Structure 1
Amino acid sequence: MLEIYKNSTYAENNPDWHEADAPWKATQIGTMIKRNKITFDSLCEVGCGTGDVILNLERAFDFSRGFGYEISPHAYRRAKSKETTRTKFYLEDVFDAPDAPFDVLLAVDVIEHVEDYINFTKRLRSLAKFKIFHIPLDLSVQSLLRRRPILHLRASVGHLHYFFKDSALATLRDCGYNVIDYCYTASRIELPNQALSSRLMSVPRRAMFALNKDLTVRVLGGYSLLVLAE
């Protein structure tokens, strides 16, 4: 499956590389960092895409060194053109990073794409003091009943693994992480350019979420999980 990122397949299916989502994702991450009073000087993002998440964070935080690692030549070329004096991008495996360990490492919508996600997640532990994961919660009652949403995610964006809140947290703990904080993010409600079905579902999702967060996410879906771990 890694070949779809190294060749043109993913780029053809997602020509914008979800750049419009980056400010929203950076805002969620920034809120988590501030809430937990995390101070850091170096920030690394694994699977950084075209680099806009870490560049948005550069504008919000005063860290001195930013590192973006990407395996797709297409995404890397776009990221490389945006380099700053503080943030650099690399077309290589993050596990070969000479500057590790970092203060904070981001894995934003990454582990669901990795074939051996357990080993991958375990290996990330040694690369930074703090790790922030953003994990789509693709499993819900409505997605299982409809089936199409999950199959569409597999075909269009390469999701190989599907999580709900408890399985995502259990995965991190089984991989040796101490979970410090986590929260839901309203990915299918607040992200731009959503499908009509997601826009129609936003009203019941918002209403139910105000009453019972866990039940809403398990039944209606539409949310992701943001986790701070060490």
Structure 2
Amino acid sequence: MKNINEQGSVSPAVGEVSDIYRDGTYLRNNPTLHGEDSAYKFAYIRRLLTRCAFPEKSVRVLDVGGGGGIIAALVCEQLAQQGLQVECHAFDLSPEMLAQQRANNRFNTLATSDFGEIRRQRYDLALLIDVVEHIPDNGLVADDIDRIARQVIYNIPIERNLLDWLRNLYMKRRYYVLQTASLGHVHFYSYGSAKRFVREHHQPVASIFPDYPGHLLESDFPDYVVQRANRLRGLELLLSRFIYRRLKPLAPWLIQGSLFILADSRSRPR
């Protein structure tokens, strides 16, 4: 993602961080674009969609930084099954990702890297799934989204927790550095700071802390199979699932995961 000014151009303040999306580095580091997690993520997004209100039969969805566009396609299909007429726009820095979004989402009518074009539109629902951790000036982008979209669904990785703190110590304080290098994360959120970020820019409606360790333990994706085969990582995942199931109120502060949040716009009426 990028730092965006009022005209929609890229700010030089982003520097090399945004270059990993434009020069193909992110795609080389993450060739699947996390498509292996799409069904898992959509299962929670679908629960939040039941809390969404669409006053008109025609619904316009905005997908910001949506990778291959699979999650947005699933959202649009779900809304279409409810009898709504759906149109989707996608914003991303990478031309390769935009091409995949056009191919994967039959509801997509606009895929662009020009945020100025997006800012001139109006949307019923915006999707920012695993996005704000990549954007240096993410508060400015959140304010823009609040002005143009009636409702927004976020997924924000929770990377400030006990186990990740211990992981960072074990890796000689290199864990977060490597997250930035490989994934482009420039912000790292705790459960509390993720909620606070959304509350500062929108009106929160509902949130879900998902069963991420359960997903990693049950998925047949090869990388997750390799993770489970590592004795230390496998033990961590089993401990995390135990905490998720038995100490759920404390889980967001203790284990790896993310936070799905539905929020209403402060600027636009529902």
TM over 0.5: yes
CA spacing shift, 1:222–1:89, aligned 2, 3 Å:
farther
Alignment correspondent of 2:187: 161
Alignment correspondent of 1:129: 150
AA matched with 1:183: I
Rounded Cα–Cα distance in structure 1 between residues aligned with 2:88 and 2:72: 7
CA spacing shift, 1:145–1:130, aligned 2, 3 Å:
same
Taking only aligned residues, the RMSD between alpha carbons, in angstroms, comes to 2.0
Identity of aligned residues (%): 21
Rounded Cα–Cα distance in structure 1 between residues aligned with 2:72 and 2:48: 14
Given the two structures, how large is their TM-score scaled by the length of structure 2?
0.76
Correspondence 1:1-230 to 2 at 5 A: 1-34=17-50, 36-39=51-54, 41-62=59-80, 63=84, 64-84=86-106, 86-97=107-118, 100-147=121-168, 148=171, 149-175=175-201, 177-190=202-215, 192=219, 193=221, 194=224, 195-196=227-228, 199-219=234-254, 221-230=255-264
Query: How far apart are 1:83 and its partner, in Å?
Result: 4.3
Runs of 4+ in 1 over 4 A off after TM superposition: none
Aligned length: 226
AA matched with 1:129: R
AA matched with 2:247: N
Query: How far apart are 1:180 and its partner, in Å?
Result: 0.8
Query: How far apart are 1:98 and its partner, in Å?
Result: 6.5
CA contact 2:161–2:190 (8 Å) conserved in 1: yes
Query: How far apart are 1:50 and its partner, in Å?
Result: 1.3
Rounded Cα–Cα distance in structure 1 between residues aligned with 2:88 and 2:165: 39
Query: How far apart are 1:214 and its partner, in Å?
Result: 3.4
CA spacing shift, 1:135–1:98, aligned 2, 3 Å:
closer
CA contact 2:65–2:92 (8 Å) conserved in 1: yes
Given the two structures, how large is their TM-score scaled by the length of structure 1?
0.89
The residue matched to 1:150 in structure 2 has which SS?
Answer: helix
Query: How far apart are 1:73 and its partner, in Å?
Result: 1.2
AA matched with 2:79: F
Deviations 1:127-155 (A, max 9, x none): 21011110000111121122144333222
The residue matched to 2:189 in structure 1 has which SS?
Answer: coil
CA contact 1:189–1:198 (8 Å) conserved in 2: no
Query: How far apart are 1:215 and its partner, in Å?
Result: 1.7
CA spacing shift, 1:213–1:95, aligned 2, 3 Å:
farther
CA spacing shift, 1:199–1:189, aligned 2, 3 Å:
farther
Rounded Cα–Cα distance in structure 1 between residues aligned with 2:43 and 2:120: 26
Deviations 1:47-99 (A, max 9, x none): 11111111122222214212222111121122222342x32341223442276
Rounded Cα–Cα distance in structure 2 between residues aligned with 1:132 and 1:61: 14
In structure 2, runs of 5+ residues without a counterpart are 1-16, 265-270
CA spacing shift, 1:95–1:229, aligned 2, 3 Å:
farther
CA spacing shift, 1:182–1:141, aligned 2, 3 Å:
same
Rounded Cα–Cα distance in structure 2 between residues aligned with 1:82 and 1:182: 27
